[in-house]
Amino acid sequence: MATSPSNVLAVELLQRECHVKQPLRVVPLFEKLSDLDAAPAVVARLFSIEWY
């Protein structure tokens, strides 16, 4: 479940710290209505990060 960009980035960091050879693609999951309402800002912030 994603409520902020940090929820997605934490999973990315975990994969990097564990030296995952073939990292999985990490995408946000907006389950609650409040999360869905915030989704445009969350996705915009994630897409502003060059490597994401």
Per-residue pLDDT of 3-48, as tens digits, reads: 999 999 999 999 999 999 999 999 999 999 999 999 999 999 999 9
Looking at residue 21, what DSSP letter applies?
A: S
pLDDT at 1: 83
pTM of the model: 0.81
Asked whether 2 and 20 are in contact (CB, 8 A), the reply is no
User: Which tokens is 4 given?
Assistant: 């902020």
pLDDT at 23: 94
pLDDT at 5: 95
Asked whether 44 and 52 are in contact (CB, 8 A), the reply is no
State how far the Cα of 30 lies from the Cα of 32, in Å rounded to an integer.
6
